[in-house]
Amino acid sequence: MIKTTQTVKELHEKRMKMWDESIENHKKYIDSSTGLFLDKFTKIRTCPVCDGKSYTSIFSKEGGTYVKCQDCTMVYLNPVFTDEAIIDYYQTNHTEQSEVVESDTDNFYTVIYNGGLQAIKQNNPNISNILDIGCSSGTFLDLAKEQNLSTYGVELNKAEFEFVKKKGHTVFNELLENLSFDTKFDAITMWDVFEHIVDGEFYLNTMKNLLTENGVIFLQIPSSDSLAAKILQEHCNMYDGLEHVNLYGVKTIKQLANRCDLEVLNLKTVISEIGIINNFLSYENPYLGNTTNKEFIPNIIDEEKLHETLQGYKLQVILRKRK
C-alpha cells in the first residue's frame, strides 16, 4: 500500500496544473461544433486486444469517445489519433508531469518506483541494466542508477529528453521501433506509458525481442477494473480523452500478454483512490473534496481488501517470454 501524509486535496491540487495543461493542449484538435476531435487527426480501429469490431460507446470526454469491446470487455478510445498526430502531440506536449514527479516532497513516486524495482529483482535477481520507455524526467532511472544498474531511457518529449541526458543516463529521443541497441536488457519498464500506446501488441513484441534470456517487462497502467474508474467513470482522471487510448483490466492485459507469448509472473494493484471515491460519494469534487479518509469506504471495502481483489487504481504487471 502507498502511504502519504498529504490529504487527497493537497495531493491533487499539485496535479491540477498538469491536468489543465493537458486539456489546454487538446483544444487545437477539437471541432468546436461537435466537441469531438477533428476527423483529420483520427482513425477508426478494431479492439486492440481481440480485434473485435463490435463495441458499445460508454461516454465522450475532452474530445474523445471511450468504448467497451463486446467480445473481450476492453475499454479503449475509438476513434484514436493517427500516428502522425499523436507523435506531434507528444513531442510538443507540456512537461508538467515531470515537474510534479521531480518535486515529490512526500516521496509518493519514490516509494512506488522502489517497489517496482524490488518486484523486478525478485523476478530477475541478476539484473544489471534497465531500459525505461517514456522515462520523462528520469526520476525512476535515477533510483535505478543508485542501485548500480546501467540505465537507458526513451523519451519523445524533447525538453524532457534533454533534461534526462544531462543527468548522465543513456537516452534516446526516438520511437522505440526505430532504435537499435548494442545490448539486450534484463528489464524494460513502462511507468504509466503503456496505456498511451495504440498498438500494445506490437510494442510488447518489440520489447520482448530486446530482452535477455531471463529478462522481464514491467508495466504500471491505470486499470479499467479499478473501483474508482467504475464509480467515477467520466469524472475519473483516468479518462482524459486523448492520451489514455487503451484502458486494460486484469482479464484484458492477461489476454494481450498471452497473445504475445508472454507469461504473467506477477500482477497486483497499487494506489487505492479511496479518498477520491469518498469525496465523490459525499457529493463533492472527487479530487478537491474535503475528506481525509483514504483508508476505507464506509460499509463497503477497506484498502487491504480492495488490493486483494485487484480493484486498485493502477495495475503493476511483470511479464517474461514464455519458455
Domain at 8-321, CATH class: alpha beta
Residue-range domain boundaries for the chain: 8-321
Check residue 21 and give its pLDDT. Answer: 64
- Asked if pLDDT for residue 1 goes beyond 60, the answer is no
Q: What is the pLDDT of residues 136-152, one digit of tens each?
A: 989 999 999 999 999 99
Instruction: Give the DSSP letter string of 52-121.
Output: ---EEEEEEETTEEEEEETTT--EEESSEE-HHHHHHHHHT---HHHHHHHT-TT-HHHHHHHHHHHHHH
Check residue 99 and give its pLDDT. Answer: 45
Q: Rounded to two decimals, what is the model's pTM? A: 0.89
More confidently predicted of 254 and 37? 254
- Asked if pLDDT for residue 5 goes beyond 90, the answer is no
Q: In what order do the strands lie in the sheet with 64-69?
A: 55-61, 64-69, 75-77, 246-247
Q: What is the pLDDT of residues 264-280, one digit of tens each?
A: 999 999 999 999 999 99
Average pLDDT value for residue range 188-195: 97
**Cα–Cα distance measured from residue 270 to residue 313, given in angstroms and rounded to the nearest whole number:** 6
Check residue 191 and give its pLDDT. Answer: 97
More confidently predicted of 26 and 245? 245
**pLDDT level of residue 7 (50, 70, 90 thresholds):** low
Q: What is the pLDDT of residues 87-140, one digit of tens each?
A: 777 766 644 444 444 444 457 888 999 999 999 999 999 999 999 999 998 999
